Structure 1
Amino acid sequence: MIPKSLSIAMAGLIALATVASGHPGESHALPRAELYRRQLEANKRHIVARNCASQIAEFNAKRKAKRDLEKRSAEPILNGRYFRHQESATSTGTADSPTYTTIQNSTCVTTPKVTEGPYYINNELLRQDIREDQVGVNLILDIGVMDVTTCQPLDQALVEIWHCNATGHYSGFTSANMGGGGNGIAPGGNGSAPLGSMSPLAGTPGGRGGSTSMTDQLRFLRGGYATNSEGMVEFSSVYPGFYTGRTVHIHIMVHTNYSVASNGSVISHSGTVRHIGQLFFDDALNEKITTQGVYANTTETRTYNDEDSILDSENADGYNAYASTEFVGETETDGILAYITIGVDPTFVTSITSDNYASGELE
């Protein structure tokens, strides 16, 4: 929801001052001048995004009229972000076109308070279905991108996402210790992996800033795709798990003017990065999913939303980093539809810091 008033809260300033990289044990204090600059940028984007409220509401009305998943209803739970579905309709069940045809009125206008984190990999595949062999609750992720300077959907923007699997492991880092608490100490245990795709935990903690060294060239639960003419893109994934020090979350990056190699990989540094952020889910839904099935087969320690400092930062100053969610069927095990809109200022430029790259020749 776009707030109707803007306030510069001390809590937001504190979050900005302490968050730098998006994972525990990697933050450091920002200089006062940098803190002030980022706060001014946040305020500017907040104001222009607020001015798009009527356009987002219009998109929302059109989108609701064309919902086509099975068994949906309008029974809201948890401030309208988490829904159950009982009304019958026709399902599309594909990732080729968005489930909704216009942008939803649930807008995440997050500021660039975090980098891509230690588990980003450059030059990932251009694809919408990122599941590969990963098991868990199916997740359909509808993402809208809006130009907050024009209040219009932003087409042909590359939206890139990546997240851990059901047992808390990122592809490319399956033998690395994940996360860790605020002291940078990573958890132990062997974090059983689905389908035998991972080895027991080894290696070193994620470190403070920068990128963790890759341990493999697996690519599950990573990918990017362009928004359509309505500013929408849809991904097929599995609901993320958690790892020690972090709540359930998905990383998002938005590029413009990017290039794609002949091998189907995005050339990460070919265009301009306009947004880096994370999206989150209500803990009631997290609890339903992560306490059953493969999600329970982990030695990682659960971190809740109210314990995650990155979520606090992403939601600072009234921004909304929560995805709206609905059941595809009768229960959460039938699959989850999640949607969120990313407000992007096309004049803003940020950069990728990771020095990790997917293998393969780019042409």
Structure 2
Amino acid sequence: MTETEGPAHKKDMSRRRVVFAGGAVIVAAGIGAGAVASASADEDTAGAKKPGGGQKSGGGQKSGGGQGEECYRLTSETTEGPYYIDADKIRKDITEDKEGIPLTLRLKVIDSDTCKPVAHAAVDIWHCDALGVYSGYEAMSSGGPGGPGGPGDGGTPPTDAPTGPPPSGGPGGGHSEPTDDERYLRGTQLTDEHGYVEFKTIFPGWYQGRCVHIHTKVHVGGKMTDAGYEGGHTCHTGQFFFAESAVLDSAKIEPYSTSTTTRTTLTEDTIYDRSGVTGGLMKLSYRKRHMARGVIGSITTGVDPDGTHDGTDL
């Protein structure tokens, strides 16, 4: 089943303030001299739009987020999509031995009004595997073996050229019930006192109708119990996106290179709003000739802790 989700609609800024600012890339072992730094400046900044139309400009930002960090009053909420599972798996490493390029995901959550870090927020992430398959929905996913456009299906190998617009129809952004008990590439963590959280995962693949992305939710006001994170409310539902150049680099590496699933590019995607980092485009760092060794992705997510945005209010 193809996940086709309509574009996020702009709403009242007083209650829908979500900001994204480029998180600082932290140089780690294996990523140093000769690394590729892929940020919002590399993708879609020409013609990026700010709320209300018009071209993006520096006037839409406010300072106060710390040295070298900017805060934006921009709406970047998205639909939840059909594949969310409230699994309460509190863990840093969500790979479960899935094959793919190692991805270290470094996130910071801040209050969009004050730019102060939001401590003890529960951050969910979930995404497909290297061949476009979601855990819990293996029988419904449109990528991977057995899925439409999967390996051997005669689809279009990835190129740097657009492969066509997302298909029409499909299930929309409504939730679908899981078809299996798998829960790989899903997890939740609490932010520390400085608003930071880090996940170990893999670089996602692609499936028909969507560009490469990671889903996220931020919950506040709850507490940890033996059963997981309970109570509170969801103050943000969004997605993180990957520069097209990085996706093309990943497509040269197995198992991504074995996929023949029709690929939707970043600019074709109906969810990404083309506003660069303010729309969820992450900053990535990796060594171009050795991408298989790992990628670091980072972004700062600003939320309205008093708001409720569960992905159904769009």
**Is the shorter-chain TM-score for this pair beyond 0.5, marking a shared fold?**
yes
Q: Show the counterpart of 2:234.
A: 273
The residue type paired with residue 267 of structure 2 is D
Q: Return the offset for 1:81.
A: 6.1
Whole-angstrom CA distance in 1 between matches of 2:68 and 2:170: 35
The 1:68–1:173 alpha-carbon spacing in structure 2 relative to 1, beyond 3 Å, is closer
User: What are the superposed Cα offsets for residues 51-76 of structure 1, whole Å, 9 maximum, x if unpaired?
Assistant: xxxxx89xx7xx67x75544424876
Separation (CA, whole Å) in 1 of partners of 2:91 and 2:37: 32
Q: Is the 8 A contact 1:177 1:206 kept in 2?
A: no
- Residue 300 (structure 2) pairs with residue 341 (structure 1): yes
Secondary structure of 1:310's aligned partner: coil
Q: What residue number does 1:283 align with? A: 244
Using the alignment, how far apart are the partners of 1:106 and 1:126 within structure 2? Answer: 30
Following superposition, which runs of at least 4 residues in structure 1 exceed 4 angstroms of deviation? 73-82, 106-110, 189-192
The 1:72–1:326 alpha-carbon spacing in structure 2 relative to 1, beyond 3 Å, is same
Q: 1:200-219, aligned counterparts within 5 Å?
A: 207-219=171-183
SS of residue matched to 1:319: helix
Q: CA deviation at 1:266?
A: 3.4
Q: CA deviation at 1:348?
A: 1.3
After TM superposition, list the pairs within 5 Å mapping 1:57-136 onto structure 2: 67-73=27-33, 105=69, 111=75, 113-136=77-100
SS in 1 for 2:105: strand
Q: Structure 1 stretches of 5 or more lacking a match? A: 1-21, 51-55, 83-101, 180-186, 193-204, 354-363
Which protein has the bigger strand share? Answer: 2
Give the TM-score of the pair, scaled to structure 1.
0.64
Hey, what's the Cα distance between the residues in 1 that align with 2:150 and 2:248?
Answer: 22
Task: Between the two structures, name the one with larger relative contact order (CA 8 Å, sep ≥ 6).
Answer: 2
Structure 2: runs of 5+ lacking an equivalent? 43-65, 153-168
**Equivalence map 1:183-332=2 (5 Å):** 188-189=148-149, 207-263=171-227, 265-267=228-230, 270-312=231-273, 315=275, 319-327=278-286, 331-332=290-291
- TM-superposed CA distance for 1:111, in Å, is 2.8
Using the aligned pairs only, state the percent identity: 31
**One of 40, 54, 63 as aligned partner of 2:12:** 40
Secondary structure, counterpart of 2:217 in structure 1: strand
Match of 1:163 in 2: 127
Secondary structure of residue in 1 paired with 2:245: helix
**TM-score scaled by length of structure 2:** 0.73
Greater gyration radius = 1
Indicate if the aligned counterparts of 1:81 and 1:282 stay in contact, CA closer than 8 A. Answer: no
Q: Kindly state the Cα deviation for residue 167 of structure 1 after the two structures are TM-superposed.
A: 0.3
- Residues 262, 110 of structure 1: alpha-carbon distance in 2 compared, 3 angstrom cutoff: farther
User: Offset at 1:346?
Assistant: 1.5
Match of 2:157 in 1: none
- 1:299: Cα distance to partner? 3.8
C-alpha distance in structure 1 between counterparts of 2:185 and 2:67, whole Å: 24
Q: Does the C-alpha gap of structure 1 residues 150 and 120 become closer, same or farther in structure 2, counting only changes over 3 Å?
A: same
Tell me how far apart the structure 2 counterparts of residues 273 and 130 of structure 1 sit (CA, whole Å): 21
> How many aligned residue pairs are there?
270
Please say if residues 191 and 299 of structure 1, whose CA atoms lie closer than 8 Å, have aligned partners that are also in contact. yes
User: Residues 335 and 75 (structure 1 numbering): CA distance in 2 closer, same or farther, change over 3 Å?
Assistant: closer
Match of 1:27 in 2: 6
Distance 1:80 1:312, change over 3 A: closer
Worse-matched range after superposition: 144-153 or 328-337: 328-337
User: Structure 2 CA distance, aligned partners of 1:80 and 1:250?
Assistant: 16
Q: 1:71 to 1:126 in 2, by over 3 A?
A: closer
In terms of fraction of residues, the more helix-rich structure is: 1
Deviation at 1:210, TM superposition (A): 1.8
> Do the aligned partners of residues 155 and 103 (structure 1) sit closer, same or farther apart at CA in structure 2, a change above 3 Å counting?
farther
1:81–1:325: 8 Å Cα contact kept in structure 2? no
Deviation track 1:302-330 (CA, whole Å, cap 9, x = no partner) reads 111111010127x38x8241110111696
Task: State the Cα deviation string for residues 56-115 of structure 1 (Å, max 9, x = none).
Answer: 89xx7xx67x75544424876555667xxxxxxxxxxxxxxxxxxx89737687636422
Instruction: Note if contact 2:150-2:261 (Cα within 8 Å) is conserved in structure 1.
Output: no
Following superposition, the deviation at residue 350 of structure 1 comes to 2.0
Quick check: 2:151–2:261 contact (8 Å CA) kept in 1?
yes
State the shift of 1:157 in Å: 0.8
